[in-house]
Amino acid sequence: MSDLKLAAEFPPASREDWLKLVEQVLKGAALEKLAFKTYDGFKIAPLSERAAHARPLAGRVPGEPWQVLQRVDHPDPAAANAQALEDLENGATGLSLVLAGAPGAHGYGLPGDPEVLARALDGVHLEIPIELDLSRQHVEAASTLASLVRARGIAPGATQIRFGLDPLGAAAMNGGTPLPWAKLAPIFAKRMSDLAGQGFSGPFAAADGRIIHASGGSEAQELAFVLAVAVAYLRALEAGGVALDAARRMIFFRLAADADQFLTMAKFRALRKLWARVDEASGLQPSPIFISAETAWRMMTRRDPYVNMLRTTMAVFAAGLAGADAITLLPFTLALGLPDPFARRIARNTQPVLQEESYLAKVADPAAGSGGIEDLTEQLCAAAWRLFQGIETAGGAWSALRQGLVQKAVASVRAERERAVKGGREPLTGTTVFANPDEIPVAVLDVARPVPGVLPADAVRLEPLAPMRLGEPFE
């Protein structure tokens, strides 16, 4: 069968042809008027040349679908169990177990008691992908889940559990930690070594960028933070006697995916390139990393929440095309309360539709060679690496958090972002523009929020990174 030349009947178009048409529309204005400036300070050109020599980045196995994770966050374990079983029977391929107080809990989440987790996972095959979103007060849930696996007679090596230990991320979000990092690091490393010794393959630790993103930070700041945290975890594991090649396989990454398609794609692609550089600097042959995505909290609105369906769909689209290995989609009513079955069904079904009807997972790194996205990826790599080097110069992730360097940088971008929303440069459809004062309220579950945990009086204090939503001032 000969190739189909779909554009053969149209004359070839050049950049010069495009420029002539643009000049007519701009009527003498500079072409720079069409450029867009990111919060990291670099420009996105209106048209880019093809990057002819680019190659696909090694990530998810080509043609393999990403894991469709569904949140398990109902505080009542029986209700959480019913939700989990329904989701797994109707399209979800894995679960995200959200513990109360976790970065992704947003006011809800499971208690970490052994009997609670056992009830919430009753009837669930523990060999499926399971990702823990842990909190400081429920960090023992990782060991509890491991015990539950053994109690059911399941071989630990047959599971696909990502345990999600992240003490530095928890410290950044909670504004402190019971112990300084020098004392906490050996405990953290031993916890992971114990899980590995039981036969679990991991990964065990999460370098979580959602904390930076939800606090208003930029893409480069999110990338620099996860690099610095992951390197801190590598050092802790190496100090605990774990070989570097084994240590790096104990860590996975979590990033926020938002409705900015091109920046989201570039961010996920950039992380793979950046970590390959860390591998090389560590004397290791670069190896693909596991990246889990969650749609962004800060873009969710209470006003006209149905627009959140569009935002989250675009976020999944971008993360999936950029090679995310697993994706969790926040239900469209989450900013209003605990989502009802309809909101959960939409969140669950969006991903299989994109996979099975739009075939988004069938091509490995389809953005490779796209001039615009390749340029964004490279600029993000350069900006994130500079910020990462700054954190390392300050003494690493813990020292930078103790000095408030990370928090100050994020606060600056957050303030700029809030000004942009207020001034209309970053519109929120249904909230700051096209708002409907007569909209009909959506249904959410009438569930009490768990009581948040508090740090002990003698905790090591930090300036917390406070989550935000861009629409809050207008709601």
Query: Per the domain annotation, does 10 fall within a domain?
Result: no
Give the model's pLDDT for residue 52: 80
> Tens of pLDDT along 189-219?
999 999 999 999 999 999 999 999 999 999 9
The enclosing domain of 254 has a CATH number of 3.20.20.240
Instruction: Enter the tokens of residue 284.
Output: 């290791």
Least confident range from 92-106, 162-176, 434-448: namely 434-448
Residue 465 belongs to a domain: no
Give residue 4's pLDDT.
65
Which band of pLDDT confidence, cut at 50, 70 and 90, is reported for residue 3? low
The reply to whether 302 falls in a domain is yes
> Considering its fold, how many domains does the chain have in total?
1
Band of residue 452 on the pLDDT scale cut at 50, 70, 90? confident
At residue 238, does pLDDT exceed 60?
A: yes
Given this model, what pLDDT does residue 31 score? 82
Label residues 210-245 b or e (16+ Cβ within 10 Å = b).
Answer: bbbbbbbbbbbbbbbbbbbbbbbbbbbbeebebeee
Please indicate, yes or no, if residue 143 is contained in any of the structural domains: yes
The pLDDT value given to residue 454: 83
The pLDDT assigned to 2 comes to: 65
| Residue 223 pLDDT grade (very low, low, confident, very high; cuts 50, 70, 90) | very high
* pLDDT above 80 (res 1): no
Do the domain assignments include residue 441?
A: no
389 inside domain: yes
pLDDT > 80? residue 379: yes
The CA-based dihedral angle spanning residues 335, 341, 344, 348, taken in that order and rounded to the nearest 10 degrees: -170
Backbone angles phi, psi at 33, to 5 degrees: -60, -25
- Domain extent for 239: 67-410
Average pLDDT value for residue range 434-439 = 90
**Residue range 341-350, pLDDT digits in tens:** 999 999 999 9
The pair of three-digit structure tokens given for residue 27, joined into one six-digit string = 């009527």
pLDDT score, position 54: 83
Residue 472 included in any domain: no
Quote helix, strand, coil % in the chain, to nearest 5.
45, 10, 45
User: What is the average pLDDT score of the chain?
Assistant: 94
Q: What is the pLDDT of residues 62-102, one digit of tens each?
A: 889 999 999 999 999 999 999 999 999 999 999 999 999 99
63 backbone dihedrals φ, ψ, rounded to 5°: 85, -10
**pTM for this model (two decimals):** 0.94
Domain-embedded: residue 97: yes
Quick one: average pLDDT of 168-189?
Answer: 95
